[in-house]
Amino acid sequence: MTNVLSTEDKARPILQHKDFLTLGHFNKTEITMLLAEAVKLKKQTKAGIFNPCLRGKVLGMIFEKASTRTRVSFEVGMLQLGGEAIFLSAGDIQLGRGESNADTAKVLSRYVDGLMIRTFSHKIIETYAQYATVPVINGLTDLHHPTQVLADLLTIYEHKGKLAGLKLAYFGDGNNNMCHSLMEGAVKVGMDVAIACPTNYRPNPEILGELKQEATANGTKLSVSESPAEAMVDADIVVTDVWASMGKEQENEERKNIFAPYQVNENLCKHAKADFTFLHCLPAHRGEEVSAAIMDGSHSVVFDEAENRLHAQKALLKLLLG
């Protein structure tokens, strides 16, 4: 991985932001720094080597949305780094109900060394970041999912040996957290991005506008099209997500009809490069957004991707809390 601060350097890597709310706040150097640290920590983990660099540290984990990978990876990550994690459901702490989010952020900052929040509105996590005096990590909001995409970039690097110059194609709902964070992360590290989605499900216009300007400035391509075949042409990385994200389950049947042409299947993938790599943040619905043949086939690295949530988030925890 080029242009990455060597893990052997005596100088401690520094992130310019105390919080991790979106990948858009970080530059290429910082993102590759995080990925390099994740590579190092993963090698150590596989070798049974655990550095208790966060001994005595506690991460508060606030969940307004249910979770499998986010909760387990952060909790295990803190344990492997010598710290501890506390699970706090929205009901347990009266999230925005009996106390303002600003006051809760101030109070929790007196107890823990960092906060990871998985919630609906992105404004909630921005409020926590504004009023907390400890690092705040976005475990997922309706607008962004940066910790997942950090793991995705790690997975792509492992399987492709590089990031810059690759083409990532995304299919489905363009106005969701995965699409937004994928665009941010891919553009930052020099990847071309093609989004295929229905007209009424295009990415957030503000996020898309900013990223198109950044893509133009760094010489990469960012396009949005209604044509799945057009977006898939020469794709190195193929990504999709569920058609009805959490909180939109009532639209499930309607969305099945709307997004049916955007299913990632064998026929569509004929337009990709022969050695394309398939990613999905999980959980996946075989037969809906992706066919079983692609999901369980030789191009799929979804379980490597899921595992890498642990290693990428350990890097993030180490550099933010260490």
Q: For residue 31, what pLDDT is reported?
A: 97
CB 142 within 8 A of CB 177: yes
User: In terms of DSSP H, where are the helices of the chain?
Assistant: 28-46, 69-80, 90-93, 101-109, 122-131, 146-160, 177-188, 205-218, 228-232, 252-259, 266-269, 292-295, 302-321
- The residue from 19, 80, 113, 118 that is catalytic is 118
Low-confidence ranges of the chain (pLDDT < 50): 1-12
β partners of residue 170: 195, 239
- Among this protein's residues, is 309 annotated catalytic? yes
Q: How far apart are CA 126 and CA 249, in angstroms?
A: 25
Q: For residue 11, what pLDDT is reported?
A: 46
Look at the chain and count its residues. Answer: 322
Q: For residue 4, what pLDDT is reported?
A: 43
Q: For residue 8, what pLDDT is reported?
A: 42
Q: For residue 97, what pLDDT is reported?
A: 66
- The residue from 19, 113, 122, 148 that is catalytic is 148
Dihedral sign of CA atoms 46, 52, 54, 56 in order: positive
- Among this protein's residues, is 92 annotated catalytic? no
- 269 annotated to a ligand binding site: no
- Among this protein's residues, is 241 annotated catalytic? yes
Which is it for strands 58-63 and 114-118: parallel, antiparallel or unpaired? parallel
- 92 annotated to a ligand binding site: no
- 298 annotated to a ligand binding site: no
Q: For residue 291, what pLDDT is reported?
A: 98
Residue 264: how many other CB atoms lie within 10 Å: 25
- The residue from 192, 281, 311, 313 that is catalytic is 281
Q: For residue 178, what pLDDT is reported?
A: 98
- 159 annotated to a ligand binding site: no
For Cα atoms 318, 114, 69, give the angle at the middle one, nearest 5 degrees: 75
- Among this protein's residues, is 148 annotated catalytic? yes
- Among this protein's residues, is 281 annotated catalytic? yes
- Among this protein's residues, is 159 annotated catalytic? no
- The residue from 113, 142, 192, 241 that is catalytic is 241
- 118 annotated to a ligand binding site: yes
- 16 annotated to a ligand binding site: no
